[in-house]
Structure 1
C-alpha cells in the first residue's frame, strides 16, 4: 500500500471516530435528569389549576427542568398512550391491560401508573338560583333529560371529557346524556355560562372552585356558587365537595387523579412523578383542597369556643 492510500485510510478512520463521538455526545444531550431537560405531558383539563401549581413549584426548584403540559379532554389524553413523544399522561384512570400490552409491544416501554390524589365533580349554580340542594335522583333526571324543571345541565364538552364519562358511567349507568345538555369549551367556559344563565347547572372538577384562598378561584366564586348534593352516609343531609367529605366519600361524586409514566430509563418524567407522590407534591394537592392519596390524611375534631 502506497503512502497516499495509507493517508486516506487514516483520514477515513479519523472521520468515522469523529462522527461517532459527535453522535454519542448528541445522544448524551438528549438524556434528561431530575434537574434539567424537557419533557411533554398530557393532562386532563379538569385538573389544570392543581397541575399548574405542581409544575410551577417543581420548575422553581429546578429552573433547567422544563415540563411542557398540554391540557385536553380525557379521551384525547388516553389516545396519547400511543404517542411516543408524550412521557406522562394525567387523567382519572390509568391504562387497561390491552393498553399496557400495546405500549410494551409498540413503544418498547413498560408503563407504570399511580393514583396520587382524589378529586370530586362540583355542581355549580347561578348566585341567584332558588334551589341549591340536589338529590342524586334529581341529578340523574337532569343530565338524562327527564327532569321536568327548567334547568340546563352544562358540561366541559359534550363528549370525550372525564366529567362526561363519569356521569355516563357512574350516574347514568351507561345511558346517554339527554338532548338538553349544553357543552362548553372548557371548565372555565362552564363557569362563564353558569354565571350568565340563572337556570344553568354546571359540572366541573373541584380544583377549579374548591380553593377559596386562590385569587382566580375567588373571582370565580363571586360569579357562581356551589350546590349541595345528598350525602352518601347521612339521611337527609346535603354536602359540599370539601376535602374531608371527599376523603370519606360522603360526597357522592368522587374520582381519582392518576398518572401514567412511560420512560425507558429514569429521567425528568420519573422525577416529576416522584415529586407528585412526595411530601411537597402531596401538600400541593392538599392545599388545592383535593385529598392526597399517598400521604396520611389526618382528621381532627375542632371545638368551637364561645
Structure 2
C-alpha cells in the first residue's frame, strides 16, 4: 500500500510540474501571441519585420506597441512586452536593472543601421550643418533644433553622441517624425531632427512625398561632409548613423526569439534592405570581372 501511494504521489507531482510548465510557455516561434515595443522612429521597419514574420507563420500574432524608447525599456523590465527595439547604448544603471529584474545576460541582436537626419524647409538657404553647430544650437535659448519629444530615440541618441544627457540640451518639440516634416516649412529658421526610417522606404509613395518635401542636410565633421546614404551607413561614417537592435526578456526559444532570429537572418535582412536601411548582417557584395 505504501509503495502504491508513493507511485501515485510521484505521478501526480510529475503531472503537476508538467502542467505548470505548459502554463508558463504558451508560445513558440511558430505559434502564440506576444507584444513588442518600438519607438515611432523605427515603426516602419518594426512593422515590416513583424508583418513578414506573421505572414510566414500564420499561427503567430505579434502586437507592435509604439512608444518612446525609454518607456519601452521600462515595459520590458516589467514584463509588459516581450522584446523592444533600441538604438542608443544602455547606461550602466540600465544594464544593472536588466540583470536584476530579468536575471539574464543581455544579448543585443543587431539587425539594421538607421540614422538621425537633420532636415530644413525646401526654401531654406542652409545647405549643411556641422557637428559644432549642432552642439552650439543645443545650448542656445533659440532652440532651433526640433525633436519629436522627450524620451524619444532621436533625442537620446544625439545626446549620447555628444556625451550629454537629454536634460542638458535645449530644443523645441513637435510630436512625431512625420509631423516635424509636415510642419517644418512653417519655421524657416528651424531644423527638424528625424529618423531616416521615416523617409527611407524607396518604393513607398508616402515616404517619397515626405522625403521630397524637405531638404536633407549633410553633416560636416572634421571638415568632411557626410550624407545619410547607404554607403555612409554601411561604413558608419555618417556621424549620426545608429545600429538598431532587439533585446528581450524571453528566457527560452519562444516567439520573441523567433522574430529576432528571423530579423537577423537573410529573409529579415532583405526586409530591412527594402526599408531603405542598411542590413547589419548582410552587406552588398561587389564582384569585379577581369
When normalised by structure 2's length, the TM-score is 0.83
1:221-260 equivalent positions in 2, closer than 5 A: 221-230=211-220, 235=223, 237-260=224-247
Conservation of the 8 A alpha-carbon contact between 2:108 and 2:246: yes
Out of 180, 183, 193, the residue aligned to residue 173 of structure 2 is 183
Deviations 1:96-145 (A, max 9, x none): 56545544544455543222222111111111111121222122222221
- Larger gyration radius, structure 1 or structure 2: 1
**Shift in Å, 1:244:** 0.6
Out of 135, 142, 152, the residue aligned to residue 144 of structure 2 is 152
**Shift in Å, 1:202:** 0.5
Conservation of the 8 A alpha-carbon contact between 1:282 and 1:295: yes
Out of 83, 89, 111, the residue aligned to residue 116 of structure 1 is 111
Task: Give secondary structure in 2 for the equivalent of 1:217.
Answer: helix
Conservation of the 8 A alpha-carbon contact between 1:242 and 1:289: no
> Aligned residue for 1:50?
45
Task: Give secondary structure in 2 for the equivalent of 1:203.
Answer: strand
Out of 152, 156, 164, the residue aligned to residue 165 of structure 1 is 156
Deviations 1:36-90 (A, max 9, x none): 2100111122111111111111111122211111111111122123212311011
> Aligned residue for 2:252?
265
Is it true that 1:206 corresponds to 2:193 in the alignment?
A: no
**Shift in Å, 1:24:** 3.4
Task: Give secondary structure in 2 for the equivalent of 1:204.
Answer: strand
Out of 177, 184, 189, the residue aligned to residue 194 of structure 1 is 184
**Shift in Å, 1:266:** 1.1
Q: Which runs of 5+ in 1 are unaligned?
A: 1-12, 302-306
CA pair 156-274 structure 1, distance change in 2 beyond 3 A:
same
When normalised by structure 1's length, the TM-score is 0.79
Q: Give the length in aligned residue pairs.
A: 274
Conservation of the 8 A alpha-carbon contact between 2:102 and 2:249: no
CA pair 271-264 structure 1, distance change in 2 beyond 3 A:
same
CA RMSD of superposed structures (Å)? 2.8
